[in-house]
Amino acid sequence: MHVPVLTKEVLQYIDPKPNENFIDGTVGQARHTLLILEKTGPAGRVLGIDLDAGQIENSRLQTEKFQGRVALARGSYGNMREIAKNNNFTPVHGVLLDLGYSSWQIEDSRRGFSFMKDEPLDMRYDAQGSLTAEKIINEYPQDQIKKILEEYGEEKFAKRIAQKIIEQRSIKKIQTTFQLKEVVERAIPAKFRHGKIHCATKSFQAIRIATNKELDSLEEALSAAISVLAPGGRLVVISFHSLEDRIVKRFFKEKEQEGAAIIATKKPVMASGHELMLNPRSRSAKLRAIVKV
- Residues 113 and 162 reside in one and the same domain: yes
In the beta sheet, which residues pair with residue 238? 98, 287
Taking only Cα atoms into account, the Rg of the chain, rounded to an integer number of angstroms, comes to 20
Q: How far is CA 193 from the centre of its chain?
A: 27
Report the SS3 class of residue 222. helix
Contact indicator for 245, 286 with CB cutoff of 8 Å: yes
Report the SS3 class of residue 115. coil
Confidence at residue 104, expressed as pLDDT on a 0 to 100 scale: 64
Dihedral sign (CA 118, 120, 126, 131): positive
Look up the CATH number of the domain holding residue 14.
3.40.50.150
Which of 167, 195, 212 is where one domain is finished?
212
**Percent of residues in the chain assigned helix, strand, coil, to nearest 5:** 50, 15, 35
- Residues 75 and 133 reside in one and the same domain: no
Q: What is the DSSP string of 1-47?
A: ----SSHHHHHHHH---TT--EEETT-TTSHHHHHHHHHSTTT--EE
- Contacts of residue 216, Cβ cutoff 8 Å, sequence gap at least 6: 78
Angstrom distance (rounded) from CA 218 to CA 200: 24
Which of 189, 212, 235 is where one domain is finished?
212
- Residues 147 and 69 reside in one and the same domain: no
Strand order in the sheet with 22-24: 70-74, 46-50, 22-24, 92-98, 229-239, 286-292, 261-263
Q: What is the pLDDT of residues 104-136, one digit of tens each?
A: 677 777 899 989 999 999 999 998 999 999 999
Judge whether 239 lies within some domain.
yes
| Domain region containing 202 | 109-212
Q: What is the pLDDT of residues 56-76, one digit of tens each?
A: 998 998 999 998 999 999 999
Q: How many domains does the chain have?
A: 2
- Residues 201 and 222 reside in one and the same domain: no
Judge whether 233 lies within some domain.
yes
- Looking at residue 293, its amino acid is V
- Residues 208 and 121 reside in one and the same domain: yes
Q: What is the pLDDT of residues 165-219, one digit of tens each?
A: 999 999 999 999 999 999 999 999 999 998 889 999 999 999 999 999 999 999 9
DSSP annotation of 176 reads B
